[in-house]
Amino acid sequence: MVKHRLLIALLLVALTFTAHVLALSAGWIWDDNDYITANQLIQSSDGISTIWMPGATPQYYPLVFTGFWIEHALVGLEPTLYHLDNILLHAASVLLLWRVLVQLGVVHAFWIAALFAVHPMSVETVAWATERKNTQSLFFALASILCFVHAMRATRPRARGLHIAAFMLFVCALLSKTTAVFVAPVLVCIALQQRRSITPRFAMIVLPYFVIGGALGLFTAFIEKAHVGATGAEFDLTLIERVLLASRNIVFYITHFVFPSEQIFVYPRFAINASSMTEWIAFALMFVLAATAVRDWRRSRAPALILLWLCAALFPALGFFDVWPFRFSYVADHFAYAAMPALATGSVLLLWSIVRSFNGNPRIVPCLLGIAVAACVPLSWIASDKYAGVEELWRDTIARNPSAWLAHNNLASELLEQTSDAGAAGDVKRVEALATEALEHATIAYMLKPDELTHASNQSEALRLLGKFDDALTAIDTAIATAPNFVEFQWMRGRLLEQMGRLDEARAGYMAATNDEHALSIERDARRSLVGLAVQRKDFADALLHQQRVVVLSPRDADAIANLGALLNANGDEQGARREFLRALSNGGEFSSETAFVTTAVRYLRLAISSPLSPDEMQSAQALATRMAAGAPGDPSLRFIGLALELRAGNVAARLPLQTIEHDARAADATAFADEIAAFLRAN
């Protein structure tokens, strides 16, 4: 028996990896930057504690961010491990689902788990690193349910420990994603399926699941509205419209699971109109389905319990609570991931019931299910292709849903980001091609949804890159009119005006971009631009003021600290400049390039040879000079610096080779260099 179970488990894991193997080569997409690639908390050594503070992360799912923190510590931002862990969690959930169904005596438990393992609806969750919250939450949820099932059958001393474990696993599921609230009603469904009485003792055991699940669920709903941005006209639905939306969503997920023709990252957003009779079709279907399940309760509890399970798992995304993605679509495959076990169970049991009602050969059921599982595997491969990267994702979405304004907007943003690399490489033609296509998609996005504030800003940036400055200014002014307090647009306007030569207006735009204490990255960029304008005016005092703020905002940015040193030097503060150059070289930050490091090192050393240094700093300066000379052994200026430090340290034997370098410099007509050496020798 153990060997048989092991073989089944290995087969289920093999099916899971076969269906999702392409996810291993998936890249970073969409909001992976907020969760992983640009999230400083998971990339800092002390971020692990901050992760557990509410408000520190985009959503309060601390167990998910803890996992990301560990993965980043192991592999950095190489995505393979993140995707492998998603596959492993999905496979673990498949095994847990199988064991739960076996414990409950559900027929065809293997085929239900196999269908869940390979169904293409799961691809969006498994291949998208950010949706770790889905795979991890369902894993803990199913583990909690399995512990609870064992506790129901255990003796009282052992049951107590199992119930504690089940509840703790449930809490872990909620701290991964609050869609795990479905566990509480499912526990009641299991008791009813096992024909157990709902005793006061059972009610007291289950009550904490409802309380903590409801509390954290409401907290997530608050976060969606107050911080994520689930507000606006898109969410102004009446109660009747929300009921109709919920019915339509449930019907969509059922039909989409049974007939998985194609998976679209952004499905078309259907309209909800209570005055239209067609809008009531889904509601009528759900009413008939529920009425039939209630009617057949005495004969079979399965239909009603599966329907309750399905509705509980889908409830957070049915429309009774506002979630930000409703702005562009009411449905998404990852919304239904927690409900997929219920969908798989219902589909398999319905097929079994149909075959049995027609007195068919029961052996045909595994054959049909085998065909369904085999058909799902290539569909999952097809669904996986688009997750190779951001551009592939949005192009695939536009091809399947041309009305997806989000896809047009985000593709425009991605193309505009690519212009930076093309510009750095000096590829003018590619910059023009990318900007032209970005303008096309930004314009389509604007036509589809003119009140979305980033559409006009993308238009402005594309027009700027194409040299159409007046049109770009009109577009960014449109964006600012839509969102006057969005400081990034003020910075973009300042940059455009600077490029147009309207420097006073540019400065005003940059200053306006420094007024949001929550947009520190924009303030940093604006301050850098203000430094550039001040340097053009030769107002080094003003430049110094803004550069000091840049360093406060980026304390580990070696380039920023070095630039502060250069400005201090320009203002005549050589000691302050030397101090900042040394800080840039020694605080552990990274320079943008080797050239930036070398330039800063030379600037520091030139100041060091004429400054009083402590013994420790002298030792550090000499070590740096030796390192620099080793990198350019024929450079006379670096040899001069090294010998000058030796002379300052008390090595009088360094004077003669310094005089030789001076003599050689004069012979080579390097008069300024020779004069510099002579001045140093006179002073020392």
Helix or strand holding residue 329 (H, E): none
Distances (CA, A) of 37 to 32, 40, 86, 645: 6, 8, 17, 43
User: Does pTM surpass 0.75?
Assistant: yes
Domain positions in the chain? 2-27+79-386, 609-684
The whole-number pLDDT of residue 510 equals 92
Q: Residues 6 or more apart from 551 whose CB is under 8 A from it? A: 557, 560, 561, 564
Express each pLDDT in 423-435 by its tens digit: 888 899 999 999 9
DSSP state of 267: -
Residue 589 or residue 24, greater confidence? 24
- Give the bridge partners for 590, in sequence order: 557
d(C-alpha 568, C-alpha 551), whole Å = 13
**Looking at residue 226, what is its pLDDT?**
67
Query: Alpha-carbon distance 112 to 97, whole Å?
Result: 8
Tell me: pLDDT of 368 over 80: yes
Average pLDDT in the chain? 89
Q: Which two tokens stand for residue 384?
A: 């996986």
**pLDDT score for 372:** 92
Write the CB contacts of 599 (distance below 8 Å, at least 6 apart in sequence): 562
State yes or no: pLDDT of 224 exceeds 80.
no
- State residue 258's pLDDT score: 93
With cut-offs at 50, 70 and 90, classify the pLDDT of residue 14: very high
Give the pLDDT mean for 36-58: 85
Q: Does pLDDT of 1 surpass 80? A: no
Q: Could you give the CA distance from residue 102 to residue 98 in angstroms, rounded to a whole number?
A: 6
Read off the pLDDT band of 278 (50, 70, 90). confident
Cα–Cα nearest to 492, from 517, 520, 470, 473: 473
Residue count (the chain):
684
CB 246 within 8 A of CB 330: no
Tokens for 594, please give them: 């080797």
In the prediction, which pLDDT does 275 show?
A: 84
Show the tokens assigned to 434: 């990318």
**Residue 571 reports pLDDT greater than 80:** yes
Name which of 47-61, 303-317, 498-512 the model is least confident about: 47-61
- For 181-219, write each residue's pLDDT tens digit: 999 999 988 888 887 778 888 889 889 998 998 888 888
3-class DSSP state for residue 58?
coil
Q: Is 59 exposed, middle or buried (0-12, 13-18, 19+ CB in 10 A)?
A: middle
Q: Which residues contact residue 540 at a Cβ distance below 8 angstroms, ignoring those fewer than 6 apart?
A: 534, 567, 570, 571
Which pair of structure tokens corresponds to residue 626?
Answer: 């030796």
- Asked if the model's pLDDT at residue 589 lies above 70, the reply is no
Instruction: Look at residue 402 and tell me whether its pLDDT is greater than 80.
Output: yes
Q: Which amino acid is at 240?
A: I
Could you tell me the two tokens for 210?
Answer: 């409802």
Q: How far apart are CA 497 and CA 515, in angstroms?
A: 19
End-to-end CA distance of the chain: 90
Question: For 332, which DSSP code?
Answer: -
Task: Among 41-45, 229-233, 249-253, 547-551, name the one with the lowest average pLDDT.
Answer: 229-233
Contact between 527 and 565 under an 8 Å Cβ cutoff? The reply is no
In the structure, what pLDDT confidence band is assigned to residue 43 with cuts at 50, 70 and 90? confident
Residue position matching structure tokens 């770790």: 132
- Average pLDDT rounded to a whole number, residues 468-479: 93
Tell me how far the alpha carbon of residue 127 is from its chain's centroid.
13
Cα torsion angle, 239, 243, 248, 253, sign:
positive
pLDDT computed for residue 279 by the predictor: 84
pLDDT at residue 126 above 90?
yes
Whether the CB-CB separation of 437 and 415 falls below 8 Å is answered with yes
- The CA distance from 635 to 629, in Å, is 7
SS3 484: coil
**Under 8 Å between Cβ of 190 and 151:** no
Question: What is the per-residue pLDDT for 360?
Answer: 67
Cα–Cα distance list, 36 to 68, 74, 324, 389, 421 (Å):
7, 14, 19, 15, 22
The answer to whether residue 158 scores a pLDDT higher than 90 is no
Cα 62–chain centre separation: 14
| Tens digits of residue pLDDT in 335-353 | 999 999 999 999 998 888 8
Report residue 397 as tokens: 């979405």
DSSP labels, 10-34: HHHHHHHHHHHGGGGG----TTHII
Higher pLDDT, 250 or 643: 250
Say yes or no to pLDDT of 626 above 80.
yes
How is 221-261 classified by DSSP, letter by letter? HHHIIIII---SGGG---HHHHHHHHHHHHHHHHHHHHS--
For the cut 90, the answer to whether the pLDDT of residue 39 exceeds it is no
Q: Are 513 and 491 in contact (CB under 8 A)?
A: yes
Q: Check whether 362 has a pLDDT greater than 80.
A: no
Task: Give the tens place of pLDDT for each residue, 79-104.
Answer: 999 999 999 999 999 999 999 999 99
Half-sphere exposure of 626 (CA within 13 A, CB side): 7
Exposure on the CB side of residue 332, measured as CA atoms within 13 A: 22
Q: What is the pLDDT of residue 215?
A: 87
Q: With bands split at pLDDT 50, 70 and 90, how would you rate the model's confidence at 227? A: low
- The CA dihedral of 326, 329, 334, 336, to the nearest 10 degrees, is 90
Q: What is the largest CA-CA distance in the chain?
A: 110
Place of tokens 């640009």: 38
Q: Is the pLDDT of residue 638 over 90?
A: no
CB 175 within 8 A of CB 61: yes
Alpha-carbon distances, residue 572 vs 379, 544, 569, 578 (angstroms)? 68, 12, 5, 11
Find tokens 């408000």 and name the residue: 55
Q: DSSP string covering 390-427, please?
A: HHHHHHHHHHH-TT-HHHHHHHHHHHHHHHHHHHHTT-
pLDDT at 7: 93
- Per-residue pLDDT, averaged over 646-659, amounts to 85
Taking 90 as the threshold, does the pLDDT of residue 229 lie above it? no
Of 102-106, 221-225, 309-313, the least confident: 221-225
